[in-house]
A and B are shown apart, each in its own frame.
Chain A
Amino acid sequence: MMKHTNSWCQTPPSVTVRIKPTTARNLQLKRGLWLKRPNQQKGQGPPGKTQNSRGQEEALKAKLSCGPTLVIQRQEMAAFFKLFDDDLIQDFLWMDCCCKITDKYLLAMTFVYFKRARFSIREHTRINFFIALYLANTMEEDEEESKYEIFPWALGKSWRKHFPGFLKQRDALWARIEYRAAVSRRCCEEVMAIVPSHFLWQRERAEHHSGAQRQYGDRDEVQMPRGPSASPARCVLCAKDLGPSSSSSSSSSASSSPLPLAGSLSLETTPPRGPAPRRSCRRTNAQCSCCCTEPDSQKHCSPPGNKDDCGAGQDTSMDWINEE
Chain B
Amino acid sequence: MQNLRQAATEAFHRLGLKQRHLGYEELSDLEDSNYTSEPQPHWFHTLQVRRLRVQRSRSNSDPLGGKSFEQEFQWKTGLQFGTATSYLNLEKLGEGAYATVYKGISRINGHLVALKVIRMKTEEGVPFTAIREASLLKGLKHANIVLLHDIIHTRESLTFVFEYVQTDLAQYMTQHPGGLHSHNVRIFMFQLLRGLSYIHGRRILHRDLKPQNLLISYLGELKLADFGLARSKSIPSQTYSSEVVTLWYRPPDVLLGSTDYSTALDIWGAGCIFIEMLQGAPAFPGVTDVFEQLQKIWAVLGVPTEENWPGVSELPNFKPEWFLPCEPQLFRNVWKRLGQLPYKTEDLAQQLLRAAPRDRISAQDALQHLYFNTLPPPLVHLRDTVSVFKVPGVRLEAEARDIFSPGRRIRPSLPLTKCW
Contacts and interface: CB of A to CB of B under 8 A. Distances in A.
A181 interface: yes
A184 B202 CA distance: 8
Interface stretch (A75-83, A149-157, A172-180): A172-180
A39 interface: yes
Contact of A5 (B109, B232, B234, B387): B387
Interface in A1-43: 1-8, 11, 15, 36-39, 42
A105 B241 contact: no
B139 A324 contact: yes
Contact of B386 (A3, A8, A38, A324): A8
Contacts of B61: 1
Given A4-B147, A11-B386, A46-B384, A210 B260 contact: yes
A207 B237 contact: yes
A127 interface: no
A103 B387 contact: no
Contacts of A243: none
Which of B63, B123, B124, B147 has the most chain A CB atoms inside 10 A of its CB? B147
Contacts of A233: none
A253 to B, nearest CB: 26
Q: List 7 A-B pairs, minimum CB-CB distance, nearest first.
A: A211-B259, A167-B125, A185-B234, A142-B241, A212-B239, A181-B135, A295-B202
Interface string A285-306: 0000000001110110001100
Contact of A140 (B134, B139, B238): B238
5 contacts: A164-B122, A180-B135, A207-B237, A211-B239, A213-B241
Contacts, number: 180
Given A11-B386, A37-B81, A46-B383, A179 B60 contact: no
B235 A140 contact: yes
Interface residues of B, number: 63
Interface in B41-63: 60-61, 63
Given A138-B131, A171-B126, A207-B237, A4 B111 contact: yes
Interface string A110-128: 0000000000000000000
A15 B202 contact: no
A39 B138 CA distance: 11
Contacts of A105: 235-238
B242 interface: yes
B131 to A, nearest CB: 6
B139 A295 contact: yes
A85 interface: no
Interface in B102-121: 109, 111-113
Given A139-B135, A141-B238, A294-B139, 6 more contacts: A1-B63, A3-B111, A4-B111, A207-B237, A213-B243, A298-B201
